[in-house]
Structure 1
Amino acid sequence: MVRGLRIPSVDPFLVWLAGTVLAASLLPAKGQVAAAFDVAADLAIALLFFLHGAKLSRDAIMAGIGNWRLHLLVLASTYLLFPVAGLLTVRLAGGLIDPLLAAGVLFLTLLPSTVQSSIAFTAMARGNVAAAVCSASLSNLLGIVLTPLLVGLLMQAGGHGGAAGMDSVKTIATQLLLPFTAGHLLRPLIGRFIDRNKAILQPVDRSSILLVVYTAFSAAVVNGIWHRVGPEDLLVLLLASSAILTLVMGWNALAARLFGLPRADAVVLFFCGSKKSLVSGVPMAGALFAPAQVGVVVLPLMIFHQLQLFLCAWMAARLRREGDAQAPAVPMPPRGEAEALARASALGLPIPEECRPGVVANLDLLAAHARVLLGEGKP
């Protein structure tokens, strides 16, 4: 069957995200209301990282942790290749965009990989799901420490703003690391409930992000974000995000060949090594930057996040079709007495005449079930 070009469907969360930015632009929180939203956002971030810690499955990590070469390649892509691409992009962009937006571009390249979408796209593309769980979880776990360190090293040294000493370290420790650790330590007690109710808890994840985005953009709007960010800036951000994503994806595809990774592991490197986490990035920006700067800093991340979802969805569907095409054909059981006798003769297996009706009936039944499993018939 010939398949045409498929346009990835839009994640409803992206629509909610855009609506939240619009709401903050039209009705920003001010004064005491803004202060209340700040407290609520801090609590939401703590809850978010607590749930991430509780959802981190040790069994899944142990299942894929032995593939150390793959995990090192993913971490190198996330914390070495991406920052280099970010520094080059910011250098080339020069004075084309606002310096704080340039800081946001660099900041997004210092973040950990995503978890849910990386695993989902790996599964869709017929990749090594156990290794994807391990790589994405390890990336996020290390990111709680590595991202603030990289922000302090690369952004302060380059004059892009960012973390400010012990205050940021304290915020990261108390608002992110402590809840994450507590959630993971409590997993033996609450892990089964978390795993059974992922569909119920997902809105908690997303509503927390929306709350933080609204709070951040409200502060940014009050401080004149849309007076300093115009359509040309958004276009430059889109081009910069496209350049970074193309560079990283291209290198990861090449690295998979250079290191001789099997196809299933190459898929993991491609998706886990090419993603940046909005879920981790927005709270980290809130901890590492001044409140008035957060909305501007996370704007490049939001653009990059939408771009990576569209492109990765398209690539996952393409890789799945390629994997299905390369899969060996499944031989169907013979149908009817003539086919059964011919197949038996080719295999050198005689079928006694008195057994033929029963053998043929069983083979017909097996063939019917096989067609149902392959999607070629009705159950």
Structure 2
Amino acid sequence: MARPRFLPDNMTLLLLAVVVTASLLPCTGQVAEVFDGLTTFMIGLLFFMHGAKLSREAVVAGFTHWKLHVTVLLCTFALFPLVGLAFKPLLTPFITPELYLGLLFLCVLPSTVQSSIAFTSVARGNVPAAICAASASNLLGIFLTPLLVGALVVAHEGAGHSSLDSILKIVYQLLLPFVAGQIARPWIGRWIERNKSWLKFVDQSSILLVVYVAFSEAVVQGLWHQVPMSMLVALLVINAVLLALIMALTTYGSRRLGFSKEDEITIVFCGSKKSLASGVPMAKVLFSSGAIGMVLLPVMLFHQLQLMVCAVLAARYGARQEEVEAAVASESGGD
């Protein structure tokens, strides 16, 4: 039986369970150090397996539709951050500076891969272009996200932030394992394809471990005293407004630029999504352990919200496309 559209997915339920566990039983001392080292290893393994899984042929073939890919990248790494900065005067009365920093971090993350492609497919959009756009977003995000984090932290706090150090950390903790996976793809690529459950396990396990360690540290430092329920509700509303605005801009913007309906679908789903799978390991690299919990709260809320909204929107797009095709077939039959 299919899961109702507005119920949380399994990963979200696991994340909630981990946050509750960290709130009640936070890890501290040597246990926290062991878990921290384990998460570093798991994240490296995750990016290695993603590198081995990614088909270079599919990415190269997809780059022929350059106008669409540039549009998606501008939505992901320019439109989102500009909206996040523009929101600052409206948001500061409702959320803490740390949560606003998390919102800025959300705005500079790359797009999702699996869910962007899946929703584009359900909506009957341009799937090959979605594969390329989402993959390119994740690859470029390894470099662009730390650069943008540095720039936005300067704009937010008025203090310097070493984006060079962040890029170096990203390179040896994320990029090098990814490149190693690409190099190893001729030998292990088929095994990875046959055992996708391993990649899913490593993916989810690394995210859950980082979230547990991050929230344990945050809880010890008084996270839930700083973030009452009213502020969580405000943050959820802010995420909803942000998602609605970006989806509206990508929808009408793609139409004004003359894209086809299939390309519009691809731009909407790839340009409005933000990757939890990339955001969690990047947060671990870019922020201090005490700040990660607050930074990840907006990302986790946005993750579930985008899944629910995109599930409904993809179904509506798909039904509309089927109606159009049925009408065209009926007219052809009448001739």
TM-score w.r.t. structure 1 length? 0.83
Deviations along 1:238-285, one digit per CA (max 9) or x if unpaired, are: 111111111110011011111111111111000000000000001111
1:143–1:251: structure 2 CA closer, same or farther, 3 Å change rule?
A: same
In structure 2, do the counterparts of structure 1 residues 98 and 116 end up closer, same or farther at CA, with 3 Å as the change threshold? same
**Does the Cα contact within 8 Å between 2:254 and 2:264 map onto a contact in 1?**
yes
Sort the Cα spacing of 1:28 and 1:70 in 2 relative to 1 into closer, same or farther, 3 A: same
Deviations 1:305-343 (A, max 9, x none): 1100100011011111111111135979xxxxxxxxxx9
Match of 2:152 in 1: 154
Q: Who is 2:123 aligned against?
A: 125
Q: Matches of 2:234 and 2:158 in 1, distance apart?
A: 18
For residues 270 and 165 of structure 1, the distance between their equivalents in structure 2, rounded to whole angstroms, comes to: 30
Shift of 1:182: 1.1
Letter in 1 for 2:313: M
1:141-196 per-residue CA deviation (whole Å, 9 max, x = no partner) reads 00000000001111123207795455433321111111111111211221111112
In 2: Cα distance, 1:229 partner to 1:288 partner = 22
Give the SS at the match of 1:219: helix
1:355 — aligned with what?
none
| Equivalent pair of 1:90/1:106 in contact (CA under 8 Å) | no
Distance in 2 between residues matched to 1:34 and 1:230, nearest whole Å: 25
What are the superposed Cα offsets for residues 57-76 of structure 1, whole Å, 9 maximum, x if unpaired?
11211232110000010001
Q: Which amino acid aligns with 1:44?
A: M
Task: Tell me, in whole angstroms, the C-alpha distance in 1 between the residues paired with 2:197 and 2:316.
Answer: 27
Q: Determine the C-alpha separation between the residues in 1 that align with 2:110 and 2:159.
A: 20
Alignment of 1:261-272 (within 5 A): 261-272=259-270
| TM-fit CA distance, 1:9 | 4.5
Pick one of 179, 182, 192 that aligns with 1:181.
179
Q: Tell me the equivalent position of 1:25.
A: 23
Match of 1:91 in 2: 89
Quick one: which of 47, 50, 54 aligns to 1:49?
47
Cα distance in 1 for residues equivalent to 2:161 and 2:118: 32
TM-score w.r.t. length of structure 2: 0.94
1:260 alignment partner in structure 2: 258
Provide the secondary structure at the position in 2 that maps to 1:327: helix
Q: Equivalent residue for 1:145?
A: 143
Name the structure 1 match of 2:195. 197
**Paired AA for residue 42 in structure 2:** A
Amino acid at match of 1:78: T
Unaligned runs of 5+ in 2: none
CA distance in 2 between counterparts of 1:330 and 1:91 reads 50
Matched, 1:311 2:309: yes
Q: Matched residues in 1 for 2:108 and 2:9: separation? A: 24
The within-5 A match list for 1:361-376 is: none
Q: Specify which of 38, 60, 75 is matched with residue 73 of structure 2.
A: 75
Three-state SS of the structure 1 residue aligned to 2:23 is: helix
d(CA) in 1 for partners of 2:21 and 2:282? 22
Q: Distance in 2 between matches of 1:331 and 1:265?
A: 22
Aligned AA (2:34): A
If asked which structure has higher relative contact order (CA below 8 Å, sep 6+), I would say: 2
For 2:273, the equivalent position in structure 1 comes to: 275
Count, aligned residues: 330
8 Å CA contact 1:108, 1:300 repeated in 2: yes
Q: Is 1:209 paired with 2:196?
A: no
Alpha-carbon distance, 1:19 to partner: 0.4
**Residue 112 (structure 2) aligns with:** 114
Q: How far does residue 89 in structure 1 lie from its aligned partner after superposition?
A: 1.9
CA RMSD between the two structures: 2.0
Q: Which amino acid aligns with 2:50?
A: H
Q: For residues 99-147 of structure 1, what are the alpha-carbon distances to aligned partners after superposition, in whole Å with 9 as ceiling and x for unaligned?
A: 1011001110000000000000000100111100000000000000000
Contact 1:213–1:295 (8 Å) recurs in 2: yes
Equivalents in 2 of 1:331, 1:133: separation in Å?
29
Alpha-carbon separation, structure 2, partners of 1:194 and 1:267: 29
Q: Deviations over 1:24-72 (max 9, x none)?
A: 1110000000000110111111111112211211121123211000001
User: What corresponds to 1:234 in structure 2?
Assistant: 232
Contact 1:101 1:296 in 2 (8 A): yes
Identity across matched positions, percent: 52
Secondary structure in structure 2 of the residue aligned to 1:29: coil
Aligned partners of 1:119, 1:78: CA distance in 2, in Å? Answer: 16
